[in-house]
Structure 1
């Protein structure tokens, strides 16, 4: 039996539903249900979240299936006391964020707006990472060599497209004249009223301009990850 099935047993035992459990351990909506249906493996980051937020669960049971589901009352009380004594507030650092594959989800707009249809393919944990809403793979070479195709960028969704920090790097979803575009670009204020300039890092790509009203979803790039080898 995989860990995801033991998680389901714990949820049922506690009288919770998947959605309530996901909120409790700060997972995206629909993640647990999807993993149960797939009988999928849980990543290290998700397991850590469960153990950090469900203090009564027995780590050995969760990871291996050995022993009892719950800690003894003595262990539970001692750990709860130690946690409350430390009283360390949750910060936005050491953040675990959902990793999306845009091609496998409902689309960029849904991911940026936390649509339940947008199921992450994994969760990643990065030490000292500022608060982010998600991460995704970069496609194309417009930001090369700063970013290359296959790199991962972590982003924070911006809900007010008129609150842009000019000069920063953004992920932008645009609908203009019936066409859809998805860019990773630097944004610069245009000399044209109501427009923004989209600037690539790659010197072989020319900058383009679009009306601010054409921006349907916007996210600030806060971090990037690059794999130098696949093994």
Structure 2
């Protein structure tokens, strides 16, 4: 229970990365508002809160400690930050800024775990899910058609998105394509404008946590 001991509601809101007013509205059930899925996800993943207890009052409030999360140096860093956040590239090279390490052997060769926030252009990964990504250092050796987190410089409008990457007839360029039918059209970028690229190796589903 110690993980849920905060001095003030503001401290709790800050830990959940939400506005204090939003948390206050939820806790007071303002206008019939329940606990949002985003808050449930963060309470469950960060603090081992039992979702059934949170919404239905069933079971124990705190689950047994997550078997994947370790207090040791073993594992891959988890960053509770959107892929659209401009701070992400800096965070990925500063493991000390990570929330904690996740020790899940199938993905222990990855660079980081990241949450998916909002509407994904790759519908396989829904809001609230956590993806395992591995940094790409050679943009000439890619797996065509696979999903990547792609980040580009200001010359290409600072793209930060999950896209399927396809081969372009010009070897200096790549085609970025969404698999989500709500986001149509291809984006062509030059490799020189890509600042970072990460292949998505998979995701941690809630039944694994």
TM-score (norm 1): 0.52
Query: Aligned partners of 2:77 and 2:66: how far apart in 1?
Result: 11
Quick one: which of 191, 195, 199 aligns to 1:212?
191
Query: Aligned partners of 1:191 and 1:106: how far apart in 2?
Result: 30
Call closer, same or farther: CA 1:103–1:219 in 2, change over 3 Å: closer
Query: Could you say which residue in structure 1 is the equivalent of 2:87?
Result: 107
Query: Aligned partners of 2:164 and 2:157: how far apart in 1?
Result: 21
Query: Could you say which residue in structure 2 is the equivalent of 1:125?
Result: 103
Query: Could you say which residue in structure 2 is the equivalent of 1:221?
Result: 200
Query: Aligned partners of 1:152 and 1:190: how far apart in 2?
Result: 30
Q: SS at 1:177's partner residue? A: helix
Query: Aligned partners of 1:209 and 1:143: how far apart in 2?
Result: 17
Query: Could you say which residue in structure 2 is the equivalent of 1:137?
Result: 115
Call closer, same or farther: CA 1:182–1:216 in 2, change over 3 Å: same
CA drift at 1:134: 1.0
Deviation track 1:123-150 (CA, whole Å, cap 9, x = no partner) reads 2232533511211112332111x11122
**Contact in 2 for aligned 1:197/1:210 (Cα 8 Å):** yes
Q: Which runs of 5+ in 1 are unaligned?
A: 3-41, 51-94
**Contact in 1 for aligned 2:75/2:108 (Cα 8 Å):** no
Quick one: which of 127, 143, 150 aligns to 1:149?
127
Call closer, same or farther: CA 1:188–1:119 in 2, change over 3 Å: same
Count of residues paired in the alignment: 141
Query: Could you say which residue in structure 2 is the equivalent of 1:191?
Result: 169
After superposition, the CA RMSD in angstroms is: 3.1
Query: Could you say which residue in structure 1 is the equivalent of 2:9?
Result: none
Call closer, same or farther: CA 1:111–1:160 in 2, change over 3 Å: farther
Q: Which runs of 5+ in 2 are unaligned?
A: 3-64
Alignment of 1:1-231 (within 5 A): 45-47=69-71, 49=72, 96-102=75-81, 107-112=87-92, 114-115=93-94, 119-139=97-117, 140-144=119-123, 146-177=124-155, 179-206=157-184, 207-227=186-206
Query: Aligned partners of 2:139 and 2:169: how far apart in 1?
Result: 17
CA drift at 1:217: 0.7
CA drift at 1:96: 2.2
CA drift at 1:43: 7.4
Q: SS at 2:91's partner residue? A: helix
TM-score (norm 2): 0.57
Deviation track 1:13-57 (CA, whole Å, cap 9, x = no partner) reads xxxxxxxxxxxxxxxxxxxxxxxxxxxxx976333x37xxxxxxx
